Structure 1
Amino acid sequence: MMAAAQKPQSRQPEYRDGHGFIAEIIRTNRRKSADIRVEDGAVSVVVPVNTPAEKIDQLLAAKRRWIKEKITLHREMTPASSKRYVSGEAFSYLGRNYRLKVETGNFAPVKLLNGRLVVTVPNGTEQPHMIRNALVRWYKRQAEQKLTEKVNRFVPVVGVEPAGVGIRTFKSRWGSCTAKGKLEFNWQIMMAPNRMVDYVVIHELCHLIRHDHSPEFWREMARVMPDYQRCREWLREYALKLSI
Structure 2
Amino acid sequence: MANPTEYREASGFIAEIIRTNRRKSADIRVEEGAVSIVVPSDTPLEKVDQLLASKRRWIKEKMALHQLTAPASSREFVSGEAFPYLGRNYRLKIETGAFAPVKLVHGKLLITLPQSTQRPSMVRNALVRWYKRQAEQKLKEKVTRFAPVVGVSPMGVGIRTFKSRWGSCTAKGKLEFNWQIMMAPNRMVDYVVMHELCHLIRHDHSPEFWHELGRVMPDYPQCREWLREHAERVRF
Tell me the equivalent position of 2:25.
33
Paired amino acid for 1:163? M
TM-score (normalizing by structure 1): 0.95
Work out which structure has the larger RCO, using CA pairs closer than 8 Å and 6 or more positions apart in sequence.
1
Residues matched between the structures, number:
236
1:138 shift after superposition: 0.1
Tell me the equivalent position of 2:190.
198
1:11 shift after superposition: 4.4
TM-score (normalizing by structure 2): 0.98
Tell me the equivalent position of 1:110.
102
Instruction: Please say if 1:88 is aligned against 2:67.
Output: no
Tell me the equivalent position of 1:3.
none
Q: 8 Å contact 2:4–2:16 — kept in the other structure?
A: no
Instruction: Decide whether aligned partners of structure 1 residues 194 and 160 sit closer, same or farther in structure 2, where only a CA change above 3 A counts.
Output: same
Tell me the equivalent position of 2:121.
129
Deviations along 1:46-66, one digit per CA (max 9) or x if unpaired, are 000000000000000000000
Cα separation, 2, equivalents of 1:69 and 1:179: 35
Cα separation, 1, equivalents of 2:56 and 2:15: 11
Paired amino acid for 2:107? G
Instruction: Decide whether aligned partners of structure 1 residues 18 and 174 sit closer, same or farther in structure 2, where only a CA change above 3 A counts.
Output: same
Cα separation, 2, equivalents of 1:222 and 1:14: 44
SS at match of 2:104: strand
Cα separation, 2, equivalents of 1:10 and 1:53: 15
Which consecutive residues of structure 2, in runs of 5 or more, have no partner in the other structure? none
Tell me the equivalent position of 1:76.
68
Tell me the equivalent position of 2:53.
61
Tell me the equivalent position of 2:41.
49
Paired amino acid for 2:70? T
Structure 1 moving runs of 4+ over 2 Å: 9-12
Instruction: Decide whether aligned partners of structure 1 residues 207 and 149 sit closer, same or farther in structure 2, where only a CA change above 3 A counts.
Output: same
Question: What's the RMSD between the two structures over aligned residues?
Answer: 1.0
Cα separation, 2, equivalents of 1:10 and 1:195: 33
Deviations along 1:10-43, one digit per CA (max 9) or x if unpaired, are 8450000121000000000000000000001100
